[in-house]
Each structure stands twice: as C-alpha cells, then as structure tokens.
Amino acid sequence: MDKIIQGTAANGTIRVLSAITTGVVREAVRRHDPSPTVSAAFGRVLTGTLLLGGTFKDYDRLTVRIDSSGPVGGIVAETNGRGTVRGYVKNPDVEIPANVNGKFNVGGIVGDGTFYVIRESGFDIGLHKEPYVGSVPLVSGEIGEDFAYYLAKSEQLPSAVLLGVLLRSNEPFVAASGGVLVQMLPGANEQIITMIEDTIRNAPHVTTAINAGAEPEDLLKLALGEVDFQVLDEREVTFQCNCSIERAKTLIASLGAAEVEAMINEDKGAVMTCGFCNESYELAEAELDEILQEANS
C-alpha cells in the first residue's frame, strides 16, 4: 500500500515527510504510457507534489506545473490534500539517451524553464478565493532539486528533497518510487542540520531501499540517521482523477447548441478524453440529443 507520513524531528524544529508511491506512479505510467525517461521525470513530480502538499495547510487543490524548454515540454501534477494525485505530461513519447553515468537524463529531457506552485482554497465552503501562485526558475530539471529550490526561495525554508523512480524492462515497469522531504524550520540547530546533510549525502538511493521493502519510516531513518523523529500523521496515497461521464456531459453542453448539433449530424456521437488520466467517455447520439434539448429549452 502506498502511503505518506509526516512528522517532526529535533524538538519540532525540523519537518519531515516521506512517501512510498510505487503504485501511484505505476498507475500514472499505465494510463499515459510515457517513455522511460519521461516516466522517471513524471514519477518524481507526482511524488514531490504529494510531499509538498504535506507542508501546507488550508488548501483544496495544490498544483505543481513545470513549463520547460526541453523535449518533454511540461509536466503537471495536482493533489487535493487527501492523499490523491493526478497529472499529465505534455509530450509523453519523447526520449533521449542516458547521461554520462548511464542513468536516465531527467534534467536533459526537462531542460530549462519555470517551476510553478498554485494553491487554491475555499471550494469546500463555497468560496472562490484568488489562488496563490508562486514560481521560480528550474535549477536543474532533476525535479528534486527544483522542489527544494522552490521551498528555499518562495517559502524561505531550507529543504532537502529526495525523489526517485526505479524502472525495469519487464512488468511491472515501475519497480519502486518514493521520496523524502526534510525541512529546516526556524530555530533548527546548525549542528543537527550539518549531521542530517552528511547523512543524506551518504545515504543509499531511496528507490534502492524501497525495492528492498522499505516503508516510509525506514526512508526517514535513512535521511535522518541518529536524529530521532516522531510521526504525527499518515495516510494512504493513490492516483485518482475526478473526471466522470457527468463532467464530460457538462463540458459538451458548455460548447453550445450549434456544436452539439454538429456532433450529432457529423460524428453520430462524441468521445471525450480526460487529459489528466486518459480515461475516455463515449456519448451516443441519444445522449447528445438530450443535451441539445436541454440547451434549447
């Protein structure tokens, strides 16, 4: 079961989060069928978005959007704070050679660009507040460093973000995925910060640990070393979209009577595909005719 945990360390001066997202990324890759390098980038963004959501309060929807000049073009992930995440990639089929270390060249396929974070709130109580939008330049395109740079610049909180996706040639394609976020809050002891930095620098890759059966608590132990931590919250995480046939009908109705009539006369029906999850909804002529009658009434 995929899950995310949140806690504190060093007498509440350090915020810690970790997540196992193997199933989340496996489902996202199944739905969008991206190339291997894009899969690695996409999985890191989905995991990072879930972790980032745990650092904020009072939001209904948190969106991370990467607009990039690299072949991938852009990546979007959205979480609602209740453990669900969804997302899409602009150009899922592109691929580039491995880097000099023989690993997926995520930074190369992402390239330069801008990292956006959009927080929206008020929906649950019927309000429509202006969303908060923060942005920073991409610093590496490797995703983890870009999340950390955003937190340092926009939230003024030094952070370490470890993200990983392990892929293999046979099924299931996604073998392991997860991440850790360590955030230094005001008052954090400099000696403890140095200890954690050294531990993270020498820790095994998170996907190596996950592939060997590690749980979120184990990932925190790898990142924190001898620094004790307390888990305050844990929840299951899933790849889940809020699209539905009802939403598809509403969208078609919003196109106007003339457009719906054209779908009936020219296409004898309609197919709507959700960009976030690739689910398709087919509407027959009779269903379109009902929409048209409501539009004309």
Residue 111 to residues 19, 29, 107, Cα–Cα distance (Å): 26, 21, 6
Angle between helices 36-53 and 144-154 (to 10 degrees): 30
Question: Which amino acid is located at 16 in the chain?
Answer: V
Rounded Cα distance between 34 and 56, Å, is 30
User: Among 40, 55, 78, 12, which Cα is nearest to 240's?
Assistant: 78
Token pair of 16 as six digits: 């810690």
pLDDT number for residue 124: 61
DSSP structural state of residue 213: T
**Which residues have C-beta within 8 Å of that of residue 91, sequence separation ≥ 6?**
38, 71, 72, 73
Residue 155, helix vs strand vs coil: coil
- Are 233 and 55 in contact, with CB atoms under 8 Å apart? no
Strand-pairing partners, residue 159, are 183
- Tokens (6 digits) for 181: 């976020």
CA 223 from centre of chain: 21
- At position 165, the amino acid (one-letter code) is V
Q: Report the pLDDT value the prediction gives residue 5, as an integer from 0 to 100.
A: 97
**Residues in a beta bridge with 89:** 75
Q: Output the CA torsion sign for 97, 203, 182, 238.
A: positive
The predicted pLDDT at position 9 comes to 95
Q: What per-residue confidence (pLDDT) applies to 126? A: 62
Q: What is the pLDDT of residue 149?
A: 97
Q: Residue-wise pLDDT tens for the chain (297 aa)?
A: 899 999 999 999 999 999 999 999 999 999 999 999 999 999 999 999 999 999 988 788 999 999 999 999 999 999 998 899 999 999 999 999 998 888 999 999 999 999 999 999 876 666 667 889 999 999 999 999 999 999 999 989 999 999 999 999 888 899 999 999 999 999 999 999 999 999 999 989 999 999 999 999 999 999 999 999 999 999 999 999 999 999 988 888 888 888 888 888 888 888 989 999 999 999 888 888 888 888 776
Domains and CATH numbers, the chain: 3-239 (3.55.30.10), 245-296 (3.90.1280.10)
Report d(CA 163, CA 155) in Å as an integer.
Answer: 20
Which of the 8 DSSP states describes residue 29?
H
The CA distance from 286 to 263, in Å, is: 11
Which amino acid, one-letter code, is at 263? M
Residue length of the chain: 297
* Distance separating the N- and C-terminal Cα atoms of the chain: 49
Distances (CA, A) of 216 to 36, 90, 189, 239: 25, 30, 24, 18
